[in-house]
Amino acid sequence: MRKLEVLKPRVVGCPPRIEEAGERYAEILGGMPHTMCFITPIYHHVIDFGSGSVEIIEDGNVLIEGEVVVERRNLNRVVRMLRNIRTRSPYGELTERSCAVVEVHRHVEYGEEFFHVHFVCSPVSLAHRTENIERILKTIKRIADRYGVEELI
């Protein structure tokens, strides 16, 4: 296994399909493409907590995605709370709403109904990266404590 600590993002040549994809994207947007390819470390943390799980993916950008299981009556509140998470923008203000609910689906287990709320969060600022990740996780924890339920399996 390679040692990661000595590795840094390294610009590499882009495979042909990537150049084609860049051209296609630029065509859709009617814009000018600029494509770069890197080989880079990616740190992937997965945390399972009773009523859901979270993945934190860091590769220069931070992407937090996960799901929380809730009951129907709390669905709207949970969606609102996730949308209301505030993080610090690159300008230093707490004005960024970095989380979105991307999908909600329903499961029925032993006649009981459960809703899986899938979310994604991506704070932009590198300077406030740690603070922003912790803000997001703390709110997810608050939501899970208040509204999360364990699905019967």
Partner 1 sequence: MAYRRELTECPPFTWDEERRYAEILKGESYTKCFISPIYYYIIHFGARRPSITSAVEVIDTDAEVFIRGELVIEAGDEEKVAEEFRKIITRGSGDELERPCTVTMIHKHEVDSKEVSHVHFICSTESFIYMSENVEKILKGIKRIADKYGIKEW
Residue 141's nearest CA partner among 64, 76, 33 is 64
Nearer to partner 1, 15 or 77 (CB): 15
Give min distance, CB of 75 to partner 1, in A.
14
Size of the site for partner 1 (CB under 8 A): 74
For the bound state, the minimum distance from the C-beta of residue 147 to partner 1, rounded and expressed in Å, comes to 15
Q: State the Cα angle at 101 between 98 and 106, rounded to 5°.
A: 160
Q: Is 6 helix (H, G, I), strand (E, B) or coil?
A: coil
Interface mask toward partner 1 for 111-130; x: CB under 8 A: -------x-x-xxx------
CB of 74 to partner 1, least distance (A): 19
Q: Give 120's strand partners.
A: 65, 100
**Four-CA torsion 62, 142, 104, 102, nearest 10 degrees:** -30
User: Smallest Cα–Cα separation from 46: which of 37, 36, 38, 56?
Assistant: 56
Of 5-13, 69-77, 107-115, the window that binds partner 1 (rule: CB under 8 A) is 5-13
Interaction with partner 1 in 134-153: which residues (CB under 8 A)? Answer: 134, 137-138, 140-141, 144
Examine residue 44 and tell whether it contacts partner 1 (CB under 8 A).
Answer: yes
Binding mask 65-94 for partner 1 (x = CB under 8 A): x-----------------x-----x-x---
